[in-house]
Each structure stands twice: as C-alpha cells, then as structure tokens.
Structure 1
Amino acid sequence: MATVDAILADQYPAKSHARRVAALLQAHHGDSAPGVIYLEAQKTRLIEDNDEAMPFRQRRFFYYLSGCSLPDSSLIYDINADKLTLFIPPTDPEDVIWSGLPLSADEALKLYDVDSVLATTEVNATLQSIGSRYGGSAVAFMIAGQVSIETKFQGFMDTNLSALKGVIEKTRVVKDAYEIALLKTANDISAKAHIAAIKASKTATNEREIEGAFIATCIAYGAREQSYHPIVACGANGATLHYGKNNSDLIDPVTKERKTNVLIDAGAEYRAYCSDITRVFPLGGKFTTETRQIYEIVLQMQMECITMLKGGIQWENVHAHAHRVAIKGLLALGILLGSENELFEKRISVAFFPHGLGHYLGMDTHDTGGDPNYGDKDSMFKYLRVRGRLPAGSVVTVEPGIYFCRFIIDPYTQSPDLGKHIDTNVLERYWSVGGVRIEDNIHITRDGYENLTTAPKTIEEVESLAL
C-alpha cells in the first residue's frame, strides 16, 4: 500500500472527481443532451472600508473539480469530450508590483489535474465554442448564486442551476485514496497540536494561551488554516457545546484554585481538508475523581460505537447505542435512577448527551451529504447531522459526550415525571466537571473502519502529558 507521502506527491484527482460528478449528474438528470459543468472560484473581496483582501477560503465545489486554491478562477468540464479546462486570472502588472508574479498557465498545467489552462478572459469564447460545436443542443450545469453576470452561455440549449450542487454534495461523501491521505495528514498535524496544547497548559494562566499553542503548532507543520475556530473550555465552560470565548482564566476567581480540566475541540485544515478532534485533559496532571468517572463513561461510549462501524451500518443505531452506554454508566454512578430501558424510552440521557454522535468530514467540518432531519420530534435523534446508512469510503466523526449544563438539565429535574430519574444530590458533585467529549475521525471501510486520529486519549496517556 502506498504511503501518505507517496499518494500526496501526485496531483489532486480533479479529473476523476469531475467524471464521478458527471456520471451521477447524467444518471439523475436523465438527459442525453451533451453538457458542461461550469464552476467559479471564490472571488477576491476587500474588507469593508479597507484596501486589504478579506481572508480567503476557496469554494469547496470548485476545489473538488479542480484542486486549485487560486481566487477569481473558473473551470469548464466538457462532459462528452471528457475535457477539463481551468481558467486562471491573467497577469495584472499593477498587482505584480505588490505580490510578485502569479502562477503561469504552464505552471498550473503541471500542478493541477486538468487538460488545459487558459486565462479567465477566455471563458466566454470557450463556452461559445463548445455551444457551437454541439449545434446549440448542450446544457450548462452551474450552481445558483455562484455565476458571474459577465459569464455568457451563448449557443447553449439550456442552463441548469438546480442539479449540480446536490450531485457534488452526494459525490463528496465517498472519499478516494488521495482525500483520505489529506485527512490523515490533517489529523497527524492536529495530533501534534493537541499534544502541544496539553503541554502548554502546565504554565498557561488563560484559555487563550492553550489555543495559541495549538494554532502555532498547526502552522509550524504546514497547516496555516483551522477547520473552525478552536474551542478551549476550562471547567464549567466545557458544558457549552460550541464555547468560543477562549478567554477565561484557569484560576477560579472565587476559590483561587486552579480549575480542574480543559476541553479542547480543534482541528487543522490541510490543503482544504479538515480534521475535527476533541480531547479533555486535567489541569495539574491528574483528573479529579468525578471527571475521571465521566471520562471513563464517554471513552466507553466512543470505543463501543467505533467497533460497530462498517460500510452499510445504520447511523441511528450507533447513536442509540451511545445513549445506552451513557445510561448504564450514569446509573452506576447514581446520577440516574430507574431501569435502563425506561430511561432510554423516556430519553433521560438526552439531558446529558444532547447532540448527535457525529457528522461527515471532508472539505468541510460538517461535510455534505448527511441528510439531517432537524424537524424530528424525537429529542434523541433531532440533532443528528447524519441519517441513514454509512457508505464505505465515507469519513465520519465519532464524538459522544456527557455534559453538566444547568440550562439543559434543570427542565428534567423540575419535571414531576422525569425528575424522579435524576438524583440531584449525587448530581451536585458533578457540576464542576463541565463537559467531557472525546472525538475521533473514522474512515468507514467495507468490512470495518480505520481511525485516522492519533491524538492520545487514554487516561494514562493524557495524564502523563499533563503532569
């Protein structure tokens, strides 16, 4: 089997992606007419009231069929001719003064998996030529809201703005070997950054110092961008699922003692592909008894769910199993009261595990194709970002958690029916835990899975790093 470095030494497989999209597009569209796919890169935009460009993030649909990270570019895939043409901005002498020479057409042709590279000034002429060649019978497939007004489709029978986006979203779910290699690299860089963050916590006095250590390590290893803004939540802050302030002191202002633990949810983005990893570690080297107990339950939730994974597994069943493990663990601690089945049927565990087990991962952190149903009346499944069976080749996060958030739990304890299943006296000892979530990125294979995440997560590993 080829190594990650060997795979990534080749070109990003844009042409293969274009063919896959075209095949699914024609199968779904049911049209025998010749067609082209037309996509535009993200435009350069200036910061309001400023002459500097806004931070750039390439459009993922464009990148998937080009592998090109240049702004202001375009592509045309002539489906019948199997020809992929990339259009890049022409040289602007004014810009060269400040930014140097841009990528040339010859350099781009060597760098990207395309058949031809032209200047963006040639887009309309190329479209007109294709339209004429097919005698006005061709259809152009585009994405609504992502086509410049100056782009003209002269000689085309029709333009379709509705089909392409959904087809690319479905195609992106199943990753090829090159994409898996990119995801592995993003995970490996993130693992180094998580270790650096744990070590930084030994002397840190504020959450932002831990965040800084994570980001600095990612940049040092070649991942300048983050998949999302990191979550660095100490103590009770960990009960907020998407906590983003990252500015709390690690010393409790009341007790003057160092807080107990930190939840860090952070992942590097490498060449447009994301990682998404969550770890919890102690401040001071050792977990408190309560945090350790919850950590053991969450780790058991995750490990059992991961072992269930393989191509064709029903994701809802895996998610439900995580809840059953949580119920068993919280019963053993005395936090929950009653029978396992009754607690499951009454959805009591949702008070402590309110979110979905995971989501697809790829060029977006919450990647395409999950088909969520946020209108589901069942509280256990309402926030699942993935529904249905997982195909082999997909990549999914597995991120169970147990949280102690008063806003979520109080309605349960105050309910005459549900409150009898929660021992508030025992619960009192766990509020300071905040939240524990453990998240890995899993590649689904035909007969099992491959864990792409190498960041330490056993209690012994984490404590040894935090000492």
Structure 2
Amino acid sequence: MSIPAQDLSPFAARRKRLMDIMRTRGGGIAILPTAREAVRNRDAEFPYRFDSDFFYLTGFPEPEAWVVLVAGREDRSILFCRGKNLEREIWDGYRIGPEAAADQFGFDQAFPVESLADELPKLIADQPALFVPLAGDRLFDLSLRTWLDKVRAMGRSGATAPGCAHDLRAILAEMRLVKDASEIDTMRRAGAISAGAHVRAMRATRPGLREYEIEAELLHEFRRHGSQSVAYNSIVATGHNACVLHYRAGDAELKDGDLLLIDAGCELDGYASDITRTFPVNGRFSGPQRALYDIVLEAQKAATAHTRPGARWNDGHEAAVRVLAQGMIDEGLLSGTLDGVLESQHYTRFYMHRTGHWLGMDVHDVGDYREPGAPPSADETRPWRMLRPGMVLTIEPGIYVRPAADVPERFWDIGIRIEDDAVVTETGCELITRGVPVAADEIEALMS
C-alpha cells in the first residue's frame, strides 16, 4: 500500500514522546510489528493495510516491518524492513529497502527484516523493561519468547533479561486519543471527500436502482479524490434494511416512498471518516418520516452542544437520549413520562446504541471512555472521560422502528441515523463533515 509523500516530522515527534514516557517508567525497549499480509483465496491476498499503532510511530507503509525503540541514556530508533529484491519488485512492486528507509523516515538505524532473530536478542539484553503488545498476537509472543530465551542463555556472559513488561498498546492508545495538527488536517480532508461522496449518492438516488449501485457511486468518489480505501464496509440500506445496524450494501431495490440510510466513509493516509445520512428515495420525506427525522436531528444538535472541553464523554449521549425519548413519547412510540422512560430504558427498543465513538486511524478508535486509573472507591466506577481539545469523535443518534402490534403502522420499517465527525476545540467542537446537507429541507432541495 502506497501513501503519498507527506511531512514525516510528526512521526519522529511521536517516537520521541513515546521514549520520554518509557523513561518515566524506568526506560527499556519497545518492539512493535506491523500487520501481516493476509491471504484472501488461492494466489490472491487482501489489499494490504498496515497496523495502526505501527504506522502512527513510523509512517512506513510496507508489510514485514518492525519498529524498535530504545529509551535510556541515549535514545535509539531502529526499523527492520524488507530488503531490496529486484525479482520480487518486478512481481509485487517497489520496496524502499533499509538504507533508504533509515534516511527517508528518520531512523537512527535500519536492518533487513531477515536479521531480526540475530539482532533482537542483542538489543533486548540488559534492558530494564519490555514495552510490547501484551498477548496481542500468538506469533509475536512466540518470537518474543525465543528472543528472551537467547538473552537468558547469555547469562554466564553477564547479560540479563528485562525484569518487567508494559503493555505498549495501552500507552499508544492514550497517545492517539488526542490528535496533533497533522492528524486533524488529514481527517478534515477525509471528511470532505466522504461528504462529497454522500452528496453524489443523494443526487444519484432514484426509485428502481439497487443498493449496490449507490455503493458504487460512493466508491467512485472516494477513489477519484485520492482516498486509498473505505474506512469500513459501507452501509447502504433501503426500507426495512435501515433497521439493521450493520447492514451491508446488498441488491435490494430502492422503492418510491422508502428511505435510504447510508453510513459510509473513506480512509485517507491512514485516517478514517464516518458519515451517516438518511434521505427519501423519491426526494421528499413523508409526514411520519419527517417527524422522526427531525427528532433525530434535534438529538444530534443536543449532543453537539455537550461536545466541548470539560464535558464528560457521556454528556452528549445523555442529552441525545432525552430528546429521542421525549420525541418517541410525543409520536406515540412510547407511553409514560420522560423520567419514567429514561429510568426504565424503554427507549432502547428504538435506540439501542450509543451516540458516538472515538475516531482516528481506526473507525472505532483506541482510547478508554472512562478516566484512567482506579475508581474513587470500591463502590464506584471510574468517571467518564473528560473531553479535551484535539479529541475526535462521532455524533450519531438514531431511531429504528420495526413492525409490531403496539407500534403505529405509519412508522413501521423507518430507520434513521444522522452522523457527523466532531473535533473538540478550545471552545466547543467543529463538525468536519457538514459538506453534505443534514437538514431535511436542504436534502430535499439538493435531490430536486
């Protein structure tokens, strides 16, 4: 997988920051492989996608690569990667090679990946601690055990093995939770591409088409603007399919009078976007569709108002749920008082997911949703994470109504979700995916 030329200084800064964190824990050695290539079927592989943590530290896009960082009196950054091989490059494409990789990506040293078995025991020896992905991959665990056994075998020569291990994934999750300026710039560009794709899909939609035809419009727009991939399998769901949360674009026909729910986003230079829009196939909302749509949009506005520095992660969800629950009562989907519906959680019959998730290199990005550390007491849970500038999350309320005897028939098979990507700023949040209309009147105007 090739990534366009970019400023590589943020990757070096992240490696330095990680080594500074390692020093606060006594120093040691961090070891992290990228993702392996995966076979799809005979003589064919899935399109390659690097490991997110590995790419976050290196910017290096090729498979069969490892990053090693040594934090001590003198820091060292080392890359292991595939060597140059003319024959394989004829078949599989250009390889950067260790010599060019060290210079281009800012590493102190680079070695052929074939030298791992010889070099890693020497690098591990006499380090106070390991920083590795604990129990994350069976083959990595086996390799690590082999290297440690070699270090222990050098004991009579005075070498010692690390005395403790830290979970590198947990450290990187905290680092990745707050995005730097280069990450946010990439995510803005990814959001703009995805918004354009949703606009294209709205304009293309009409009765008689199939879900996969609209998916093709999305994919065309993603690729023609430089996106390397989808961020996740696109959801293109018409009619009752919109009530299936993780529905895949299929061959269902788009029918006059139905809604179409599209949840789709591209991946650009390793970063995801994530947008959902729901709109009428014929370009005009019916009365019941518009009633539920406006409730969901008001819920998103309420959640957005609570997405700001100092607010807690769950504040936006709770604000959205109050609007959704009251709307369900007003439209006859639920009965009782708002407080009663909230306490009983009867609203989950029609709204069963949370109002957002972290977004970054992974569409459901890393990072705890509660504050790290122990709870205040054994009887309490950790408080929800406090939002800080640079965090990026989605805001995506919805309503999904399946047919049932106690549900007004006019709402049957209506599934609605509205989702945008939000960057927490110093004063509130910025919705970076509003290049596609969201108000019902604006959608109808676009489709007309």
TM range (shorter): 0.7 to 0.9
Q: Which residue of 2 aligns with 1:165?
A: 169
Alpha carbons 2:237, 2:260 under 8 Å: kept = yes
TM-score, with normalisation over the residues of structure 2? 0.85
Q: 1:184 aligns with which of 168, 184, 188?
A: 188
Alpha carbons 1:441, 1:451 under 8 Å: kept = yes
Q: Kindly tell me: are residues 142 and 57 of structure 1, through their superposed partners in 2, closer, same or farther at Cα, counting changes over 3 Å?
A: same
Q: Quote how far apart the aligned CAs of 1:65 are.
A: 1.2
SS in 2 for 1:68: coil
Q: Which residue of 2 aligns with 1:114?
A: 107
Determine the C-alpha separation between the residues in 1 that align with 2:54 and 2:160.
21
Q: Which residue of 2 aligns with 1:404?
A: 401
Which amino acid is the alignment partner of residue 457 of structure 1?
V
Q: Which residue of 2 aligns with 1:142?
A: 132
Determine the C-alpha separation between the residues in 2 that align with 1:239 and 1:173.
31
> How many pairs are equivalent?
417
1:305-352 superposed Cα distances (whole Å, 9 cap, x missing partner): 101211231122221111111122233334333322222222222222
Q: 2:250 aligns with which of 240, 246, 250?
A: 246
Determine the C-alpha separation between the residues in 1 that align with 2:207 and 2:394.
31
Q: Kindly tell me: are residues 392 and 24 of structure 1, through their superposed partners in 2, closer, same or farther at Cα, counting changes over 3 Å?
A: farther
Q: Which residue of 2 aligns with 1:96?
A: 89
Q: Kindly tell me: are residues 296 and 352 of structure 1, through their superposed partners in 2, closer, same or farther at Cα, counting changes over 3 Å?
A: same
**Runs of 5+ consecutive residues of structure 2 not aligned to the other structure:** 152-158, 372-382
Q: Which residue of 1 aligns with 2:442?
A: 461
SS in 2 for 1:85: strand
Determine the C-alpha separation between the residues in 2 that align with 1:361 and 1:117.
32
Which is worse superposed, 272-281 or 319-328? 319-328
1:184-238 superposed Cα distances (whole Å, 9 cap, x missing partner): 1111110111111112213761111001110111011111311110000111211
Q: Which residue of 1 aligns with 2:409?
A: 428
Alpha carbons 2:82, 2:98 under 8 Å: kept = no
1:93-120 superposed Cα distances (whole Å, 9 cap, x missing partner): 4312313442244543454343433322
Which amino acid is the alignment partner of residue 48 of structure 2?
F
SS in 2 for 1:13: helix
Determine the C-alpha separation between the residues in 2 that align with 1:261 and 1:12.
46
Q: Quote how far apart the aligned CAs of 1:287 are.
A: 1.1
1:59-109 superposed Cα distances (whole Å, 9 cap, x missing partner): 112112111111001111112223322222012343123134422445434
Which amino acid is the alignment partner of residue 73 of structure 1?
A
Q: 1:195 aligns with which of 176, 199, 205?
A: 199
Determine the C-alpha separation between the residues in 1 that align with 2:108 and 2:431.
35
Which amino acid is the alignment partner of residue 102 of structure 1?
R
Which amino acid is the alignment partner of residue 131 of structure 2?
F
Q: Kindly tell me: are residues 336 and 402 of structure 1, through their superposed partners in 2, closer, same or farther at Cα, counting changes over 3 Å?
A: same
Q: Which residue of 2 aligns with 1:59?
A: 51
SS in 2 for 1:443: strand
Check if 1:443 corresponds to 2:433: no
Relative contact order, CA 8 A, sep 6+: which one is greater?
1
Q: 1:205 aligns with which of 204, 209, 230?
A: 209
Q: Kindly tell me: are residues 339 and 15 of structure 1, through their superposed partners in 2, closer, same or farther at Cα, counting changes over 3 Å?
A: same
TM-score, with normalisation over the residues of structure 1? 0.82
Q: Which residue of 2 aligns with 1:392?
A: 389
Determine the C-alpha separation between the residues in 1 that align with 2:9 and 2:264.
25
Q: Which residue of 1 aligns with 2:28?
A: 35
Which amino acid is the alignment partner of residue 430 of structure 1?
F
Q: Which residue of 1 aligns with 2:155?
A: none
Q: Which residue of 2 aligns with 1:292?
A: 290
Alpha carbons 2:178, 2:388 under 8 Å: kept = yes
Which amino acid is the alignment partner of residue 296 of structure 1?
D
Q: Quote how far apart the aligned CAs of 1:242 are.
A: 1.1
Determine the C-alpha separation between the residues in 2 that align with 1:323 and 1:25.
41
Backbone CA RMSD of aligned residues: 2.6
Q: Quote how far apart the aligned CAs of 1:371 are.
A: 4.1
Q: Which residue of 1 aligns with 2:16?
A: 19
Determine the C-alpha separation between the residues in 2 that align with 1:301 and 1:232.
22
SS in 1 for 2:292: helix
Determine the C-alpha separation between the residues in 2 that align with 1:438 and 1:157.
53
SS in 2 for 1:344: helix
Which amino acid is the alignment partner of residue 232 of structure 2?
Y
Determine the C-alpha separation between the residues in 1 that align with 2:327 and 2:225.
39
Determine the C-alpha separation between the residues in 2 that align with 1:228 and 1:218.
12
Which amino acid is the alignment partner of residue 462 of structure 1?
I
SS in 1 for 2:32: strand
Q: Quote how far apart the aligned CAs of 1:369 are.
A: 1.4
Q: Kindly tell me: are residues 101 and 229 of structure 1, through their superposed partners in 2, closer, same or farther at Cα, counting changes over 3 Å?
A: closer
The 5 Å alignment of 1:2-13 reads 9-11=6-8, 13=10
